[in-house]
Amino acid sequence: MHTRRSLRRIRTGTTAALLTAALLLTACSAEGASNPAGTAAEAARASATTAPVLAALPRSVPSALAPYYGQKLRWRDCGVPGFQCATLKAPLDYAKPSGGDVRLAVARKRATGPGKRLGSLLVNPGGPGGSAVGYLQQYAGIGYPAEVRARYDMVAVDPRGVARSEPVKCLDGPKMDAYTQTDVTPDDDKETRALVDAYKGFAEGCGASAPKLLRHVSTVETARDMDILRAVLGDGKLTYVGASYGTFLGATYAGLFPHRAGRLVLDGAMDPSLSARRLNLEQTAGFETAFQSFARDCVQRSDCPLGGPGTTPARAGRNLKAFFDRLDTRPVPADDSAGRGLTESLATIGVITAMYDEGAWQQLREALTAAMKRNDGAGLLALADGYYERGPDGAYSNLMSANAAVNCLDLPAAFSSPEDVRKGLPAFEKASPAFGESLAWASLSCAYWPVEPTGQPHRIQAKGAAPIVVVGTTRDPATPYRWARSLARQLSSAHLLTYDGDGHTAYGRGSSCIDSAINAYLLRGTPPADGKRCS
């Protein structure tokens, strides 16, 4: 079970997969996908164009915030060769800057040269809830193109409530195990009450963990923290690469501070103008699009457990759903030290995990074969554990806690009650016969959150900002391509860069066309032509 919205980078076996929690309506016919919600979807899209515009903040720094903007970072050794760490202070509540601080973990790797240093490049892997510091140390600081690392100090800050930055922690390991195994396709009133109780228990744990911070982990507040970091680092404008939810964060920064937005890359773009329900529905359809692509590949292979040559993707999907239905009453053993079996909820997450990167398709075929043919759920359970960031010792990162904390604050809940979910089920099941039911019920979680939301759907124009590169992948499962198109239409200075392919996000995933276009923008300030396509 998870809150729908954005991205994370995880490890699935040997595959580095980019995971999100975002949402999808319908892909355009140009991308070969059908409309899962018909005229209702178009009506929702039309209403999104009337959403209010995010207003820019004043150019001058308020005097009450001057001490934060004037602070000096004390860099120290991180314990990771080549990286330095520091702690940044930001106001807990920007409306009351004197009311206390939040301490944010920052890391950097200095520009290696040769060539003139261009400043700092801030990176964020999404989530919400993904550790940007961990991402920098494990990937971006060593895996970004050498020419980019040569010219920029690579920098990351864990957002408030995330990882090293005063993390929100809702449940301990055993309770998280129970939570992730809760049946999210309730068949009767008893199972519905159990699901609601699980959501309430999770929310209560979060409220007890961080009662004050929980009111101040919104995307707007994190974007304002980024501006303090920009100033403290000595940069006149922010240079930034954000993936998935990181695009929402970067676009929010541009909307609040258009005059300080420098070279921004928004890869796997989200659409801020949509409601939580629309986001969840659209992402559900996005996972279906990705599954159809996987299924077309799978049935051509001798080791496909969903059908052989001649099997249609639709038939493969029905076979997968039948497998999920069997697990609903008969979990498969998984040889797990904690005694967990492979339940329907964990299997669904395991399959969804592999949709983020086509490089995980072989791993998924093997895991499905083991579970469906040999009664061994270990492979799918490992995929689900990667999604949830559950370690071998049974401990979880705070990813899912922070993910819920941000999502439930940023937007009103997708559904308000079980009855509300049941009314919405037909649209979700049409969007994805395999995943729709479970993802609709997962969208109920924010209904029981202990803090009222502070955000609403809105458009971001960022008038006056320098050129911003918005990247969309045509068969992205988690941030559908139409979101990139929508965000590019909203931003006044956007240049849309399209990758015609599978998987989540595009930069650094094997397309030399995408990588060279983004590198040229970061290094020389030359954005790709608006509408450029790569494959």
**Residues with a known catalytic role:** 244, 476, 504
Nearest of 56, 14, 58 to residue 360 by alpha carbon: 14
Hunting for tokens 């994805």 — which residue is that? 432
What is the rounded CA–CA span in Å between residue 341 and residue 336? Answer: 7
Q: What is the DSSP letter of 309?
A: T
**H or E, element range at 107:** strand 101-109
CA distances from 70 to 56, 63, 121, 130, 305 (A): 22, 11, 20, 28, 60
Terminal-residue alpha carbon distance, the chain: 33
The pair of structure tokens assigned to 202 is 């999770």
- Comparing C-alpha atoms, which of 5, 447, 445, 450 is closest to residue 213? 450
Q: Using CA atoms, how far apart are residues 91 and 97, in angstroms rounded to an integer?
A: 5
- For residues 184 and 345, the answer to whether their CB atoms sit within 8 Å is yes
Sequence-ordered alpha helix ranges (H) in 356-511: 361-374, 378-388, 399-410, 418-431, 436-442, 481-490
HEC-encoded secondary structure of 162-209? CCCCCCCCCCCHHHHHHHHCCCCCCCCHHHHHHHHHHHHHHHHHHHHH
Nearest CA among 124, 113, 111 for reference residue 84: 111
